[in-house]
Chains A and B, each alone.
Chain A
Amino acid sequence: MNVPVKKVLIVDDEMFVRQSLADYFEDRLWCTIEAESGEQALEILDRESPDGVIVDIRLGGMDGDTFIREAYKKKTTMAFVICTGSPEYNVPKDLLERTGVHDQIFRKPIKNMGEVEQVLSQMIENLKPKKD
């Protein structure tokens, strides 16, 4: 139990997708927070400070890209993994320049959620020394 519990924020307007990701991470002893829109997620960020965020791009209100930009304004030490069902989506250049945003986009349905966990963990690890 000396491994610190990692906290992940899952932003997706599709409840079943959100829930399946949350279930998966919980099983792997992550602490999970769910948000169904960018706006809600930003509110949560005021209270909580997750290590990583899994972001859907097409959201009900603001889109995923905007959310990441807004979130960055609040905290810079979070790892962002983009996960979308849109086939044409590409990560905008300005986001790619930021260290916390991974260039790999996970297309829905996610074929291997283990990979998501691995990528996210890796990023969180990478961000830590900076913090130190």
Chain B
Amino acid sequence: MEVDKTKKSWSLTATIALAFGVLSSVVLLIFSCFEMYFHYQTERQNIVVKQQLIAREAATKVANFVQVKFSKLDSAVMIGELATAPIKEQEKILGILLGREAAFRHLVLLDPGHQELAKASRLSQSSWKTFMERFGEDLISQVMTGHRYFSSIYVDLVTSEPLVVMAVPVTDVFGDIKRLLIAELNLKFMWDLVDRLKVGDTGYAYVVDRKGNLIAYGDTARVLRGERLDDLQSVSEFIHNPMNRVDTAARICTGISGNTVVGTYVALETPDWAVMTELPIKEAYRQVMRNAMLSVCMLLVMAISAGLVGILVARRLALPLLDLTETSTRISNGDIGLQAAVRGPVEVVSLASAFNKMTQRLRTMLDMEEERSRELATEVEQRKKAQESLQESNSVLQATLESTQDGVLVIGENGQISLHNKRFSEIWSIPEDLLIKGEDRLIVDYVLPQLVDPEQFTAKINELYLSSDTSLDILHFKNGQILERFSCPLQKQSRETGRVWFFRDITERIQREESLRITQFSFDRAAVGIYRVRSDGKILEVNDKAAEILGYTKEEMSRLFIFDIDPLVDRENWEPLWKTLNEQNGLDSFETIHRSKDGRDTPVEINSNLLEYGGQQYSIAFTLDISERKRAEEELRKLRNYLSNIINSMPSSLVGVDEKGNITQWNRTVEKVTGIPADKAQGRSFSDILPWMASEVKNISKSIRSQQVIHDRKRSRLQGDGTLYEDVTIYPLVTNGVEGAVIRIDDVTDKVRLEEMMIQSEKMLSVGGLAAGMAHEINNPLAGMMQTAEVMTSRLGDNFYIPANRRAAEAAGTTMDSIQTFMNEREIPRMLDTIKESGRRVAAIVENMLSFARKSDAMVSSHSIEELLNKTLELASTDYDLKKHYDFKLINITKEYEANLPTVPCERTKIQQVLLNIFRNGAQAMQEAAVMVPRLILRARYERDRDMVCIEIEDNGPGIDEEVRKRIFEPFFTSKPVGVGTGLGLSVSYFIITENHDGEMAVESHPGKGAKFIIRLPVGGKRNECSS
């Protein structure tokens, strides 16, 4: 039942389904074609009728446009009585008409003799004569016969606009033609109309004249270009059928834009134009296309359904046949017992029965054949087995001989080699050809030189050949190889027929034994204790040293467990320890304590290694007595502690850095200064932790490089509200190649301040000395000047009681009154005042300077600081300046006095002078800076530790910058404009406080944050005063 696969065969199902599908599709196709054709015909008729209607409507609109213009002309003729009206009136009417109708460009009224009577024009230059030249004759002949005239189109050369000329006769009441009214009409105004004509959705209309010129169209550019369209089918039909005044049928043709359209046209009577309408064919036949598409879709759906029905029917028919086919396929594959199913149509049923009979007969034949072949096979099998077993025993023998590690040599009766294996020739390195000869003698000769003791070897052989003993001995080779030789006689029917020799290479075994001996020796004599411990903590074996460390014998130790010698480990926590050891890849190193036999604890370091053999885990532990090391470490720790205590108790900030600038040492002082604890600073970069020291990093590396100490003195930095001064010293480290440096930072702010003050005092004193000498020299000429000025004032003034004045006036022939008048007129008194005032200022300067020189000669008495401050405030409050709008009373004053202040011995007026000076300076500064709420805070407190009363005067003015602050107490240093202050005020104050009262005076300020003056006065008074 083989199917011929080379010939392409169709399945029954496919054939039936295809036939069914094709048949129904053909029927449907024919039906659809008819349906579509009829539908198309009907639709086409509809389109033609619709297009004609649209064209006619468009034509009416265009005709109307022209008609309206004619009627306007007519009405002008009628209403304006143009035939009779005077020329002025006529011109006016034409003007009005031109104004009303934008499409007219020219209006001209002619008399029958062609003379112009009146005209109106939109153009400055009247060009009516040009169109008269063109159309004149035609026009006049037509109008004079009482007809209207409508010219052909022409184009204005300037504006490119299409124009026509129209004319009507002007008749009087009797109907006689009296005049002609001619108008030039601009067709541009028709374009809009044409553009607005609706032809479907995408269709359009245009107008052509009889010559085929395009007159109006949506695309005005084409009109202006003056296109001729006589090549279009519709247009040429219009041109060539002048008599056709009826509608033409719509047709499919090429449209004005070059696309395919359904076009039609309607010819107008007057003017002789045609309105063309075109509807793109896409739109016109949209409905038809849509129907056609629908039909095709339906056809497809129906064809597919028909195909599906076909497949179903075919399946049903083919099923029993397929069954039969499957059965026969399975029989051919060997399933002979199968019977085909008998069902389906009659033809198939009879086919199946016949098929079943045929298989029945074939089965019987096959069974007989099988019985015969089985008998044959059994016989062959038996023979084969016998042969195989023989071969097997042979090869087993051969394999055994070859697979043994021993060299085997069998010597027969006559000294011939009867058997040997490959291993034998390898061990003795005997060449193949020698073996083939088979002479034992030759082989012995060959091997002798390899041996250490050949005589003994040959003696042994000879001895053995004479006896029937077995023997075992060792052979040493010159190259170090060692062989074990075994020999036994070969017997056949209890008769010796030769000897069998076995040679075994035992070189490696001997070497292993040697190395084991060495290992054992090392183990026994090792300087560290070695333990072998079982997984349950049992000590299996120890070496001498291990026993010695703990004072046990080796035997005693091998009875103990680890927890017997290690007090830190007990039976319970042994297992987790073992597990940890396992997890660490069997390696562990730790320190612990071992207890010796006499109960003494010894610190030990253990190195434990995990060893696995025979399925058991062991720990091999090396134990080192570290008592000595521990003691050294303890000592080192103490020393380090001691050194660190020294470093920490240093009053300077000490910072150690390595060569990279990372902090290695951080003492307690620097912790206190920076507020950064040592553990936070360690390892961090120096410039990160002490950013204001960043500039020192360069110096640090320089110092390390050059191994020289670097000093950086009086570095200033801002901290809180004050300036801090620090001395920085960098010491390079030179110990044991450890590179780095120690940085020492000392806060020298107090020292710097003291220095500043000392410099200040020095300056004061030198000024003082100078002043004393100078004062006398200045005062004398000053006295001459000022006193003379005073006398002059009295002589020139109105002091009438000075008789000399009056006498002098009389002698000069004048009176004191007129002199007085003259004086006042020339402002002499003011000038004298100027001299006196200037003199007074010089005197004040000298006086102030003398304050530095004058030794304390005034009265010192005890005063309450509180009272002094209050009194001075009272004095200051009277101080105001109208010109500068400065009033001390406007200042908000806060008093913060400590209770029970001790009295201070001082010069009352001097201290008041100082306080007043500070109040004024502060008030002026605040006023100048226009501080909104000026404020002065006065504080007084007793500083017990120094036995001084401290006065603080704080303002919220503009503050003082660092430059000014440093120099503020210098004589003649002033920040005020020239003339406002002598620059002596604060220096005098300073002198009074520091020199006269042994006190202190300082100022703290930051620009923008106000200034604070601090005065300290000793409660015990001036020292030398006390002593005297």
A residues neighboring B (CB under 8 Å): 14-17, 19-21, 23-24, 26-29, 58, 85-88, 107-111, 113
Contact = CB atoms under 8 A, between A and B. Distances in A.
B775 A87 contact: yes
B783 interface: yes
Contacts of A28: 802
A109 B775 contact: no
Contact of B785 (A16, A27, A86, A113): A16
Q: B787, B791, B850: which has the most chain A beta carbons within 10 Å?
A: B787
Contact of A17 (B777, B784, B794): B784
Nearest to A24: B791
Contact of A16 (B784, B794, B804): B784
Interface in B723-779: 772, 775-779
A86 B779 CA distance: 8
Contact of B782 (A23, A87, A88, A109): A109
What are the nearest 3 A-B pairs in CB distance?
A16-B784, A85-B779, A20-B787
B614 interface: no
For the residues of B in contact with A, the DSSP-based class is: helix
Nearest to B802: A27
Contact of B788 (A19, A26, A86): A19
Contacts of B780: 14, 17, 85, 108
A24 B794 contact: yes
A20 B781 contact: no
Contacts of B787: 17, 20-21, 24, 109-110, 113
Contact of A85 (B775, B788, B802): B775
Nearest to A110: B787
B839 interface: yes
Contacts of B854: 87-88
A20 B802 CA distance: 16
A23 B802 CA distance: 11
Nearest to A16: B784
Interface in B773-814: 775-788, 790-791, 794-795, 799, 802-805
A109 B783 CA distance: 4
A23 B793 CA distance: 12
A20 B853 contact: no
Contacts of B786: 109-110
A27 to B, nearest CB: 5
Given A14-B781, A85-B777, 20 more contacts: A14-B783, A16-B781, A16-B784, A17-B780, A17-B784, A17-B787, A19-B788, A20-B787, A20-B790, A27-B795, A27-B804, A27-B805, A28-B802, A58-B776, A86-B776, A88-B853, A108-B779, A109-B779, A109-B783, A111-B843
Contacts of A111: 840, 843
Given A108-B780, A108-B783, A109-B783, A20 B775 contact: no
A29 B788 contact: no
A88 B843 contact: no
A111 B784 CA distance: 12
A21 B365 CA distance: 182
Contacts of A21: 787
A14 B843 CA distance: 17
Nearest to A107: B779
A85 B783 contact: yes
B69 to A, nearest CB: 120
A30 B47 CA distance: 149
Given A20-B790, A87-B850, A14 B784 contact: yes
A107 B780 CA distance: 10
Interface of B: 772, 775-788, 790-791, 794-795, 799, 802-805, 839-840, 843, 850, 853-854
B808 to A, nearest CB: 11
B772 A87 contact: yes
B486 to A, nearest CB: 139
7 contacts: A16-B785, A20-B783, A20-B787, A87-B854, A108-B783, A109-B843, A111-B840
Contacts of B804: 26-27
Nearest to A22: B791
A90 to B, nearest CB: 8
A58 B779 CA distance: 12
Q: B781, B791, B794: which has the most chain A beta carbons within 10 Å?
A: B791
B481 to A, nearest CB: 127
Contacts of A108: 779-780, 782-783
Contacts of A27: 791, 794-795, 799, 802, 804-805
Contacts of B794: 24, 27
B850 A20 contact: no
B779 A16 contact: no
Nearest to A86: B776
Contacts of A26: 804
B858 to A, nearest CB: 13
A21 B783 CA distance: 10
Contacts of A19: 784, 788
Contacts of B843: 109, 111
A123 to B, nearest CB: 20
Contacts of A58: 776
A59 B518 CA distance: 124
Given A29-B803, A88-B853, A109-B785, A24 B790 contact: yes
Contacts of B776: 58, 85-87
B446 to A, nearest CB: 140
A120 B908 CA distance: 32
Contacts of A14: 780-781, 783-784
B229 to A, nearest CB: 125
B805 to A, nearest CB: 8
B784 to A, nearest CB: 3
A23 to B, nearest CB: 4
A24 B784 CA distance: 12
Contacts of A17: 780, 783-784, 787
B178 to A, nearest CB: 130
Contacts of B778: 85
B839 A109 contact: yes
Nearest to B775: A87
Contacts of B799: 27
Nearest to B791: A23
A113 B779 contact: no
Contacts of A29: 803
A19 B790 CA distance: 12
Contacts of B785: 16, 109
A86 B775 contact: yes
Nearest to A83: B783
Nearest to B777: A85
Contacts of A86: 775-776, 779
Nearest to A21: B787
Contacts of A20: 783-784, 787-788, 790-791
Nearest to B857: A90
A29 B782 CA distance: 25
Nearest to B805: A27
A69 to B, nearest CB: 22
Contacts of B791: 20, 23-24, 27, 113
A23 B786 CA distance: 13
Contacts of B840: 111
Nearest to B790: A113
A26 B808 CA distance: 14
Contacts of B853: 87-88
Contacts of A15: 784
B772 A88 contact: yes
Q: A19, A107, A109: which has the most chain B beta carbons within 10 Å?
A: A109
B788 A16 contact: yes
Nearest to A112: B790
A21 B790 CA distance: 10
A31 to B, nearest CB: 13
Contacts of B805: 27
A58 B773 CA distance: 13
A2 B612 CA distance: 150
Nearest to B840: A111
Nearest to B842: A109
A93 to B, nearest CB: 15
